[in-house]
Amino acid sequence: MESAPANPGQGIGASVLRKEDDRLLRGRGQFVADLRLAGMRDVAFVRSPLAHARIRAIHKPHECGDDIYTAADLAPVKPIRAVSGLPGFKVSEQPVLATGKVRYVGELLAMCVADTRARAEDIAASVKLDLEELPAVHDMLAGRQAGAPLLHDSWGDNVFLETNVEAGIARAFDAPIKVTREIRTARQCMAPIEGRGVVAHWDRRLEQLVIYSATQMPHIVRTGLSECLGLDHERIRVVAPDVGGGFGYKGILLAEEVALGWLAMHCDRPVRWIEDRREHLTAGANCREHHYRITAYAERDGRLIGIDCEATVDSGAYSAYPFSACLEAAQVASILPGPYDFPAYRCRTYSVATNKCPILPYRGVARTGVCFALELVLDAIARETGIEPHEARMKILVRPEQMPFDNITRKHFDSGDYPQALRRAVAAIDLPAVRARQKRGEPDGRLIGLGTAVYCEQAAHGTSVYAGWGIPMVPGYEQASARLTPDGGLELRVGVHSHGQSMETTLAQVAHEILGVALARITLVHGDTAFTPYSTGTWGSRSMVMAGGAVARACEEIARRAISIGAWLLKAEASAVRVIGGEVVGPTSKVSLQDIARVWYLRPQDLPVHVNPGGLEATVGYKPLRDSGTFSYAAHAVVVAVDPETGNVEILDYVIVEDGGKLVNPMVVDGQICGGVAQGIGTALYEEMPFDAAAQPLASTLADYLLPGPTEVPAMRIEHMEIPSPYTEFGVKGIGEGGAIAPPAAITNAINDALRALGAREILQSPATPRRILDAIARAGEAAP
Amino acid sequence: MKAANFEYERPGDIKSVIALAEREDIVTKLLAGGQSLGPMLNLRLAQPDVLVDITAIPELKRVEENADAVTLGACITHADIEDGRVPDGCAGALSTVARDIAYRAVRNRGTIGGSLAHADPAADWISCLAAMGAEALVSGPAGQRTLAVAVLMTGAFDTALAPGELIEAVRIPRFSRSARWGYFKVSRKTGEMAQAIGVVLHDPDRGVCRAVMGATESAPIVFAQAAALFGGTSGAPALDRLDLDAATQALITAGITDAIDRKLHITALKRAIGRAAQA
Ligand SMILES: Cc1cc2nc3c(=O)[nH]c(=O)nc-3n(C[C@H](O)[C@H](O)[C@H](O)COP(=O)(O)OP(=O)(O)OC[C@H]3O[C@@H](n4cnc5c(N)ncnc54)[C@H](O)[C@@H]3O)c2cc1C
């Protein structure tokens, strides 16, 4: 299946330019840090310099004691509790300002407020801390050992949760091929261009706490604030203005948000905190640290029979709200089989508390690590059995005739042709040509390598999946409101948030598809709990499936109402008129939606007697036919050149063949893929947040924490397959995270392919830094761990 | 990450800068392009009372040429050099080096004098200008003096500048027609500081054959007589005569104990030699 026709107007399938870019590209966006409220004061936090310590005392200097707040001042504020209902889950309580102990470097100890941030930092620097250092858990595997220092004294160990999934693993034990690897992924930071930020004030007229926050989930933040501050929901309004990227970090209730909310109520002045990059890197946006001990069993021809895995995730000190500390590790067990069909499986997982800041879900969440582990062992099997890596995958990819397919962990694949994606990717990268070039050798001595990886991305999964996790937030029906304005414009109200996803454009395209109102006259209202239906927000690649479906339903309802008024005005039967291109069209005449709206609002004397009094405004809820999620997927193929003397890697070619179901705006989808791949390249080659043995974070600026830049991200070649989901409106599938999932696996496989010529040790840890590559070369001949 | 409070002065002549620096009641810090100092102020690693902006002083932007050398004022920016707005007496070598420093936004403001004074071991100019045999012209309370760039840097972020002294200009000897120059910077990605730098200058007409291994933990390793690296032989540096033991020994002496670090330095040196041979 090829992309939609070139010119479908402004509706579904049209690559229209983004409506939001007119303001964003001219620098006219309005982000939290752009807000100026009269009398606003700035906050700086005193953060723990130690990873693990008992708090003996916090001394406020006399001269500015009134501008410093500690846990004692915030006494009625409740800690953040993100519980999971999974059996055995141990609960952590994250105090908003630390009490008793600090459990990671950067944990909040005191809040300082002044007229400028610089002055607030002066005050913060004047606070004297009396801390008794305790031994720290800096590594998840060490944290699992008996006798490790305890983070949460009452637990008895440091394991938030242990899970085990098993399906006939014994069947695999006498397989002729057995490959075991120990694989690690680095702790990373999400690094959206805009960090977190909060402006809070108390609205006296409405008796309401108003929180402007750089968040992707305003309604969930409101619920969390309500719990921690003990305020009724009506007393809280959360506004998410323009938000400069989120990737998961902005889907978390921050202690800083709660603290600012409390402060705004107490100091009777607007207050703000804008996260700086050091706070962001060392105390905020951490994610992704996994460890796998994985064994793959296969036939002699390379067909995978079974996977046996023990996975550990470094969860950090606390369970983050609302996703909890278990989501990442427990998901590993259910998604490790990826897009493959094989008969034997076992996976045990551990979510381990360490003295590091909590890890948070990042684009792709557990999938990036899982894909890395599985795809690296599949390449190891291919090498062991002497076949091309894509051949090993072809033998086990779920086939189109199996759809819909329930896999070994009972994931329900809705539709797709996975082998086609891989076949096309291998063809596009031109495998024979790459192998010939590899054999020929490069004039500059660099080594050529080819890597592939395939993943699937479960998206927009709903109640049936999340109810089982028992976390504070379970998505249900998604609602949207549509309202025709008196002059014929259309307002859409949604509780999801657009912060890079282009929803101001794409949801308008959905509405246009149904009502034909020109995109220029469609406005998306979002990011404000006062104006939008409750929603769990934007996460899990769910917004187009869920909010797109809801917008379609709401617009269909508006169409029905407009038809009944229009038919009356046209003196036609309702069954004989239709909405086409912004007009209600009857057998002999037509009337525009604009005229219908004018009649409803301004000339009600012209309305039919039995008109629906709901008028031209409707809120409708939506869920796909099945809420077990859509499955988008892609095959990535990459060619790299590795410099064996510097360890540097250049990406020479990158191909993606992806099925995202029906594409609402193919250009926007390409943008999502490119952005995701850029982040995946960061994961593969550059990004790493190291800690020393005292659990001190070692990358505190972007000079230490390397991100890929324009010269490191190559032009990519993207091919689309549009196999619709049978369960969703228009057949759309969620695609927001996919780009970030496969690159670390594909690129590392390519590097290992390149290094094979030297007999180097396999790279089994991300990122594949020059040092790791040179080390692998230096240790040629040593067996893999 | 906001700077601690400071006062700001922008004098128009060097005398006033020195007078401010001599005051004992205040701590001053010179501000040139601010590309290294700016982050240090914001991270509060530097907390001067008075920031003395030296970019309004005409002498510090001067350009002088004679038959032997080009002299560039300390406040000439990397971008001035990259774009050829100032003469390049080194057959284009200066602009090639400038182009690989940081990103354009940094190059627009960052200065050659600031780079030398900051003495970041991984910076490009300190290694290159040492290899070129350049001299820093220094002014201070005790008057003027010149210091070879090769000895200006005494350690990581440390220089031989006395309190109150500033770099006024850099005098860079011209290459002769016979000069062969090779420069190689190993870095993780475009715009990053170097992990290793190799430089070779062979200019037989002037009797110069220098090599530098830079971006070490400290000051660059300068071989004023590069013959020592090539088995004592004279003539153009050639890869097949490179004495790996001598290079390795120099790195060990400089405290580089890690084998992978040494490999990167040797690679940078080899590639610089290769480039000089092709030049
Ligand atoms: C993102 C980034 C990437 C970078 N990458 C590189 C790179 O790849 N290679 C590289 O070489 N550099 C790099 N740099 C550093 C850059 O080149 C700076 O311009 C340079 O280090 C300092 O020059 P400046 O004029 O900005 O000095 P400033 O920041 O103004 O000052 C630096 C220090 O020198 C002192 N100083 C300044 N001028 C004088 C003077 N005339 N006499 C005495 N003392 C003086 C100041 O007091 C201060 O202590 C990078 C910087 C950034 C921000």
Mean pLDDT along residues A768-782: 94
pLDDT band, residue A464 (cuts 50/70/90)? very high
Check residue A268 and report its DSSP letter.
Answer: S
With an 8 Å Cβ cutoff, is B4 touching chain A?
Answer: yes
The domain of A721 spans 290-464+626-778
| CA-closest candidate to residue A629, choices A485, A462, A782 | A462
Averaged pLDDT of chain A: 96
pLDDT band, residue B234 (cuts 50/70/90)? confident
The residue whose CA is least distant from atom 36 of ligand 1 is B114
pLDDT tens digit sequence for A4-31: 344 459 999 999 999 999 999 999 999 9
Question: Which candidate in A42, A645, A685 is best for mutational testing of the B interface (most B CBs within 10 A)?
Answer: A645
Last residue of a domain, one of A268, A284, A300: A284
With an 8 Å Cβ cutoff, is B106 touching chain A?
Answer: no
**Assigned token pair, B105:** 């936004």
Checking if the pLDDT of B279 tops 90, the result is no
Are the beta carbons of B188 and A686 separated by less than 8 Å?
yes
The pLDDT of residue A8 is 59
**Assigned token pair, A752:** 């290992």
Check residue A427 and report its DSSP letter.
Answer: H
Answer whether residue A685 is part of any domain.
Answer: yes
Beta bridge partners of B65: B70
Answer whether residue A103 is part of any domain.
Answer: no
Check residue A31 and report its DSSP letter.
Answer: B
Answer whether residue A90 is part of any domain.
Answer: no
pLDDT tens digit sequence for A599-652: 999 999 999 999 999 999 999 999 999 999 999 999 999 999 999 999 999 999
Last residue of a domain, one of A622, A652, A667: A622
Interface predicted TM-score of the whole assembly (ipTM), two decimals: 0.96
Centroid of ligand 1 to alpha carbon of B62 (angstroms): 19
The pLDDT of residue A770 is 98
Co-location of A301 and A431 in the same domain: yes
Centroid of ligand 1 to alpha carbon of A564 (angstroms): 71
The pLDDT of residue A6 is 41
Are the beta carbons of B193 and A703 separated by less than 8 Å?
yes
Last residue of a domain, one of A241, A268, A284: A284
Q: Looking at ligand 1, which atom is closest to the CA of residue B113?
A: 41
SS3 content of chain B, % helix, strand, coil (to 5): 35, 25, 40
Number of domains in chain A: 3
Q: Looking at ligand 1, which atom is closest to the CA of residue B161?
A: 43
Co-location of A269 and A241 in the same domain: yes
Its pTM surpasses 0.90? yes
**Assigned token pair, A746:** 């594909």
Centroid of ligand 1 to alpha carbon of B115 (angstroms): 4
pLDDT tens digit sequence for A365-384: 999 999 999 999 999 999 99
The pLDDT of residue B91 is 96
pLDDT band, residue A323 (cuts 50/70/90)? very high
User: CA geometry: angle at A780 spanning A774 and A784, to 5°?
Assistant: 100
A608-617: Cβ within 8 A, 24+ apart = A608/A564, A608/A565, A608/A568, A611/A564, A611/A565, A611/A568, A612/A561, A612/A564, A614/A561, A615/A561, A616/A483, A616/A484, A616/A558, A616/A561, A616/A562, A617/A481, A617/A482, A617/A483, A617/A484, A617/A558
In Å, how far is B225's CA from the nearest CA of chain A?
A: 26
The pLDDT of residue A482 is 98
Residue found under tokens 């519980």: A83
The pLDDT of residue A7 is 45
Co-location of A509 and A438 in the same domain: no
Answer whether residue A546 is part of any domain.
Answer: yes
Question: Residues enclosing ligand 1, CB less than 6 A?
Answer: B 29-37, 54, 74, 101-102, 106, 109-111, 113-115, 117-118, 120, 123-125, 166-167, 191, 193
Mean pLDDT along residues A761-779: 97
**Assigned token pair, A414:** 């809705």
pLDDT tens digit sequence for A392-403: 999 999 999 999
Checking if the pLDDT of A509 tops 50, the result is yes
Answer whether residue A46 is part of any domain.
Answer: no
In angstroms, the CA A148 to CA A165 distance is: 26
With an 8 Å Cβ cutoff, is B244 touching chain A?
Answer: no
3-state secondary structure of A547: helix
Mean pLDDT along residues B181-200: 96
pLDDT tens digit sequence for A707-731: 999 999 999 999 999 999 999 999 9
Which residue among B101, B128, B187 has the greatest number of ligand 1 atoms within 8 angstroms of its CB, and so is best to mutate?
A: B101
Checking if the pLDDT of A2 tops 80, the result is no
In angstroms, the CA A537 to CA A527 distance is: 9
| CA-to-CA dists, residue B199 to A22, A661, B158, angstroms | 48, 55, 22
The pLDDT of residue B38 is 97
Are the beta carbons of B267 and A646 separated by less than 8 Å?
yes
With an 8 Å Cβ cutoff, is B193 touching chain A?
Answer: yes
Co-location of A614 and A658 in the same domain: no
In Å, how far is A747's CA from the nearest CA of chain B?
A: 16
pLDDT above 70 as % of chain A:
99
Instruction: State in Å, rounded, how far the first CA of chain B is from the last one.
Output: 46
The pLDDT of residue A782 is 78
Mean pLDDT along residues B190-205: 96
CATH code of the domain containing A267 = 3.30.365.10
Which residue among B17, B20, B35 has the greatest number of ligand 1 atoms within 8 angstroms of its CB, and so is best to mutate?
A: B35
The pLDDT of residue B235 is 85
pLDDT tens digit sequence for A536-587: 999 999 999 999 999 999 999 999 999 999 999 999 999 999 999 999 999 9
The pLDDT of residue A64 is 87
Answer whether residue A105 is part of any domain.
Answer: no
Co-location of A331 and A375 in the same domain: yes
pLDDT above 90 as % of chain A:
97
Q: Looking at ligand 1, which atom is closest to the CA of residue B75?
A: 41
Co-location of A311 and A225 in the same domain: no
Are the beta carbons of B195 and A708 separated by less than 8 Å?
no
Checking if the pLDDT of A1 tops 60, the result is no
Co-location of A247 and A276 in the same domain: yes
Q: Estimate the crossing angle of helix A366-385 against helix A743-755, to 10 degrees.
A: 30
Co-location of A613 and A632 in the same domain: no
Co-location of A280 and A360 in the same domain: no
The pLDDT of residue A785 is 60
In angstroms, the CA A376 to CA A114 distance is: 52
